[in-house]
A and B are shown apart, each in its own frame.
Chain A
Amino acid sequence: MKIPYFLLELDQTEPSLEGGASAMMPVEEYWLCLPASHIRPFVQTVRVMGACPPCCWFPMSLPPVPGPPRAPAGLRRSSHNAAPPPPPLPPPSSAPSPTAPACSSADPKLCPSPSTSACRQEKIVQSGMAYQDGSLQKLLKMNGLEDFPGPYDYDLIIIGGGSGGLAAAKATAKFNKKVMVLDYVTPTPQGTRWGLGGTCVNVGCIPKKLMHQAALLGQALKDSRDYGWNVNEKVKHDWEKMTEAVQNHIGSLNWGYRVALREKRVTYENAYGQFIGPHRVKTTNNKGKERIYTAERFLVATGERPRYLGIPGDKEYCISSDDIFSLPYCPGKTLVVGASYVALECAGFLAGFGLDVTVMVRSILLRGFDQEMAQKIGEHMEEHGIKFIKQFVPIKVEQIEAGTPGRLRVVAKSTRSDETIEGEYNTVLLAIGRDSCTRNLGLETVGVMINEKTGKIPVTDEEQTNVPYIYAIGDILEGKVELTPVAIQAGRLLAQRLYGGSTVLCDYENVPTTVFTPLEYGSCGLSEEKAIHKFGEENIEVYHSYFWPLEWTIPSRDNNKCYAKIICNIKDNERVVGFHLLGPNAGEVTQGFAAALKCGLTKQQLDNTIGIHPVCAEVFTTLSVTKRSGGSILQAGC
């Protein structure tokens, strides 16, 4: 169960449609129509020079691989294509430029219209001149662009088959580009591995939301007695049954991704990719077999993996979020180390199954999130039986007894004194942060800059690294949000810009998110701290209220725990700059408000909107007490 078995089988299967992307558009035939003598290796120089006259084809429509027609390369590619004959294809509906359809004509000789070819020749002559004078060459050398390796195997190679990478791959394939996805999961210290889809699907959003749901259902069972259902008082939870169900779902998603890539004719290789030279990667599969591929562009979307403490016993005995969701046995009494949202979410659902859970926190909860909300989440968790050990860090983990689960002794030290404490747990889950998977990709070989301290990659607004043909998206980006939908959005928009003539950039502002702690926390926009910092305390108005979900009245639980807060910029017509909600279904509620924030929502508009009765979300239409006023926001007994 630890590893979805059928996936291992799958990963060994050679994708049957390898190289299929080229079948969508007869690339070879296209470059064959070109006068070979004029072609320089630097087709990209066209874009670099930017001297494209209006008659010229759009850079995006450039056939991706118009290198010199060297026979071996051509042969190699056609051998890829030989396996499945390219199916007859309708003209692509999303043609990148007006000239592209003309060029995808089956007969290469009919292909380039006179004006196009003339124009292109001009272009290439120009680029050739620049090439000769040497200045461009220097520029290109700096950018790792020298040494053109001949025709590229792919238009785009994506390193990392997570949410962002896959979204970019699928979007790129839509433009009939030849795309390859490299994905390889290095096993955790405990040996856990998984299939295609990245963190979100395998060891993130999906399993955690399902386990959160399992925990919520435990609460629902308790509630249901008050609603007239004769559910037995003590209901036990079967960890293995749940985990198997969750893993089965994940297995189906992994499979779904494989199928989706195949359908879109994206080549998938279950191998580790590393840059070994300009436009060139080496892949290594789990049997150690190496291959080399070239591409015009690359997208790095390798994401992050959980961090370890670097203390005795951490890698030997501790698990991380990479392991918990496929743990083949119930973790028992658990110490969760860390106060990230991963830590609190895991602690929350484990406690929901009735396990004894302790969270060890070095400093503050949910760094980066609104601290008032973070504090309320912590309080709620404590009231629901989760223990917090604050301002302590583990310094040693020892095994007392092996087993499933075994017994571990944890020694921790105070962050304020020399005091040490000891505790015994069945499982220690580390959730102290995540590190970017950027240090072992050969990025230095091609000159991609990373932040040496964090390992994160700085990119332009267009997700371009300092090496123009290498892009990066997702969790590895410096200063961007680490969220699946953001990576997906970024990947899709990038593909549309690179190949679809779009200019739409990914907007990293006002990204909504939800923390699936037992009491869910949805937010969008600024935290109160950030709003104060940005606008000044006197220029923001905070409206807030507690509320009691109607559904909770019958079981009579948790009154004055759910909380709604909006932060408005007084100087900008009381525009809402921050939205915060603590309550059930926070994610479902927050989404629509995020759309409204996108439309420049003001407090006035919020007040003018009619509520939906009786739902939790309606509380936002009736917020009247400001924090400044100090007015009571407690809800009366009913």
Chain B
Amino acid sequence: MAALAAVLQSRSLGFPWLLRTWAGGARGAARGAAGLHDYDLLVIGGGSGGLACAKEAAQLGRKVAVVDYVDPSPRGTRWGLGGTCVNVGCIPKKLMHQAALLGGMIQDARNYGWEVAQPILHDWRKMAEAVQNHVKSLNWGHRVQLQDRKVKYFNIKASFVDQHTVRGVTKGGKETLLSAEHIVIATGGRPKYPAHIEGALEYGITSDDIFWLKESPGKTLVVGASYVALECAGFLTGIGLDTTVMMRSIPLRGFDQQMSGLVTEHMVAHGTRFLKGCTASRVERLPSGQLQVTWKDLASGKEDMGTFDTVLWAIGRIPETRSLNLEKAGVNTNPDNQKILVNTQEATSVPHIYAIGDVAEGRPELTPTAIMAGKLLAQRLYGQSADLMDYDNVPTTVFTPLEYGCVGLSEEEAVARHGDDHVEVYHAYYKPLEFTVAERDASQCYIKMVCLREPPQLVLGLHFLGPNAGEVTQGFALGIKCGASYTQVMQTVGIHPTCAEEVAKLRISKRSGLDPTVTGC
């Protein structure tokens, strides 16, 4: 029956319209009536994208359910509603990053006349508890928001039964069947463990665990060079822990490589150790409880060893698609990475099943893109909108000790698309005013604007390395969205004295070969 309805709906243009009118007319009193199904919209995954889509659809008068279930990490860590960003991503990492920044500010404060008693020690327990309490309050907030908007929430693990039906299993093993006219898959991803390293799964943790540790991780080895790896290593170093990053090849793959190089250069100066060109081969637990890691230097072929209290794998993430029984619904995935294939409407191979966020193939793995994609999808489905999500020029920021904000193309990408002769790069090394009195080194504070060479020199990308990079980048991302040219940015009067004003003063092109160091003000 359900399958038949699905065929009818997907084939007939008239029927969904009729259904919509009917459901709309029944809004309020007959809210429960969703036609042939339990719900108008079922969202699988209560993360940023899923919740945004569900709330928007409910706002538009639809009957909506969200199912969310967190499989415990191999270490047994679990969390509440809200997905990666809130629980094991952006929020706790930015807060721990802030804790680390405050450590730097305490040092600065002495230069600014504050008589801080020494030594200053950091208490992991206290920080972690504060962070975890904040996250729990956000979990609660999400629950309340769903309730306020009359979105039904199920804490069940979902898998497809057919194209319109999902089976949910509670923690206790109780089963529920839910059917819906439209289904959105927004299950996100989880950290990957290495497959063939002895002891990796047994003794290692991931970003799913680090924010929920009750005790300090101590001396830590972070394996990987993704932004997750570098951010974690950065704040661990910042709160005073002995931290080492082991990376196989390049840092921040996909980001501008000059900037990435500066990011790691700053981290080295900031006290993080790096084992470059190395891969771990074995993790063992010593009688002392410490972990002994064996690795291989890829260049020399030599093996080496070190002991750590914690090994954190940050080698990538895999989409949460395996337990969804997608084949039952006929949803296609990319066999290489298991991500769900989608079109510009976010529709999967099954027209009434959609996928948004990290689980969808080719999408930036970022909270705000998932949120916007979710909202726009709901508006297209129920709000007579035709607006598609624009995945170009998505700004982002890496919260390493020296923050890296970027939007648009990397220099490499710009050159690849337009050719070296057609790209002009303006750049500057600058010193934040606050660094002067604090006697901080600003060697890596650097800005680069990648433009087309032909007037009016359209801005293709902006890369900013320095304090508050996220705050600086946001507005310029908007400028690029509005088609800003180099000339327009230069005509913008600076705000003095800020770091951001240096963007509006980028006058030295790479091609000129002139010294890009900013002098004076």
Contacts and interface: CB of A to CB of B under 8 A. Distances in A.
Interface of A: 163, 200-201, 205-206, 209-210, 213-214, 217-218, 220-221, 223-224, 226-232, 235-243, 245-246, 249, 252-253, 256-257, 260, 353, 483-486, 488-489, 507, 511-514, 522, 550-551, 553-554, 585, 587-596, 598-601, 605-606, 608-618, 620-621, 636-638
Q: Top 7 nearest A-B pairs by Cβ distance?
A: A592-B475, A242-B113, A228-B127, A591-B500, A617-B474, A615-B470, A593-B475
Contacts of B85: 613
Contact of A260 (B371, B436, B504, B519): B519
Say whether chain B's binding surface is mostly helix, strand, loop, or mixed. Answer: helix
Given A585-B471, A591-B498, A592-B477, A229 B113 contact: no
Given A200-B521, A485-B494, A612 B130 contact: no
Contacts of B116: 221, 231-232, 235
Contacts of A253: 520-521
A369 to B, nearest CB: 14
Interface of B: 85, 90-91, 94-95, 98-99, 102-103, 105-106, 108-109, 111-117, 120-128, 130-131, 134, 137-138, 140-141, 144, 239, 366-369, 371-372, 390, 394-397, 405, 433-434, 436-437, 468, 470-479, 481-484, 488-489, 491-501, 503-504, 519-521
B112 A608 contact: no
A381 B503 CA distance: 31
Contact of A210 (B105, B396, B433, B481): B433
B471 A588 contact: yes
9 contacts: A205-B496, A224-B103, A230-B123, A236-B115, A551-B95, A589-B474, A598-B491, A610-B395, A612-B473
Given A550-B95, A588-B471, A228 B239 contact: yes
Contact of B493 (A163, A512, A616): A512
Contacts of B138: 638
A620 B504 CA distance: 21
Given A230-B123, A553-B134, A601 B482 contact: yes
Contacts of B477: 592, 609-610, 612
Contact of A554 (B109, B122, B134, B479): B134
A245 B111 contact: yes
A230 B140 CA distance: 30
Contacts of A238: 113-115
A301 to B, nearest CB: 16
A235 B115 CA distance: 6
Contacts of A485: 493-496, 501
B130 A218 contact: no
A154 to B, nearest CB: 22
Given A218-B109, A227-B130, A595-B492, 14 more contacts: A206-B521, A224-B105, A238-B113, A240-B113, A587-B500, A591-B504, A592-B500, A592-B503, A593-B474, A594-B504, A596-B484, A598-B484, A612-B395, A638-B138
Contact of B102 (A223, A588, A589, A590): A223
Contacts of A242: 112-113, 437
Contact of B126 (A228, A245, A612, A613): A228
B493 A483 contact: yes
A599 B477 CA distance: 12
Contacts of B390: 608
Contact of A611 (B130, B368, B481, B503): B368
A228 to B, nearest CB: 3
A592 B473 contact: yes
B247 to A, nearest CB: 25
A508 to B, nearest CB: 9
A250 B497 CA distance: 14
B396 A612 contact: yes
B482 A596 contact: yes
Contacts of B114: 214, 217-218, 221, 235-238
A86 B383 CA distance: 74
A614 B102 contact: no
Contact of B495 (A227, A229, A237, A513): A513
B186 to A, nearest CB: 16
Contacts of B470: 612, 615, 617
A331 B68 CA distance: 59
B112 A245 contact: yes
Contacts of A223: 102
A257 B519 CA distance: 9
Given A200-B496, A200-B521, A609-B481, A221 B488 contact: no
Contacts of A553: 95, 134
A353 B115 CA distance: 12
Contacts of B369: 610
Contacts of B117: 231-232, 235
A349 B371 CA distance: 39
A145 to B, nearest CB: 33
Interface centre among B122, B130, B496 (most CB of A within 10 A): B496
Contacts of A252: 436
